[in-house]
Amino acid sequence: MGKVASRQDDLIRAVDLAAAGDWAEAHEIAQRHEGDALADWLYAVLHKLEGDTGNSRYWYRRTPHTFEEFDDPSLELAAIRRALVE
């Protein structure tokens, strides 16, 4: 039996996938953790990257962050990753 990924490992993988441009797989992982503040933040960034501003703003409202907080999505992904490893 294989090791089950922890929430943290799963979300770090999703951030890395998003940074590499695999938004679909990152989206799938974030969706599995819906309701978790960091997963919801990642979801918001993914929708921002996809150009889906309305959906992105919806997900930001579920986090302590705002759509305007980061100008560069890659810096925002790095901030999410840091929050996951702290």
First to last CA, the chain: 29
Contact status, residue 15 vs residue 42, Cβ threshold 8 Å? yes
CB atoms under 10 Å from CB of 78, counted, come to 14
Mean pLDDT split into 10-residue runs, the chain, 86 residues: 74 97 95 95 96 96 96 96 94
Residue extents of the structural domains in the chain: 7-85
Q: How far apart are CA 48 and CA 3, in angstroms?
A: 32
Q: How far apart are CA 23 and CA 6, in angstroms?
A: 20
Tell me the pTM. Answer: 0.91
What confidence score (pLDDT) does residue 1 get?
A: 47
What confidence score (pLDDT) does residue 39 get?
A: 97
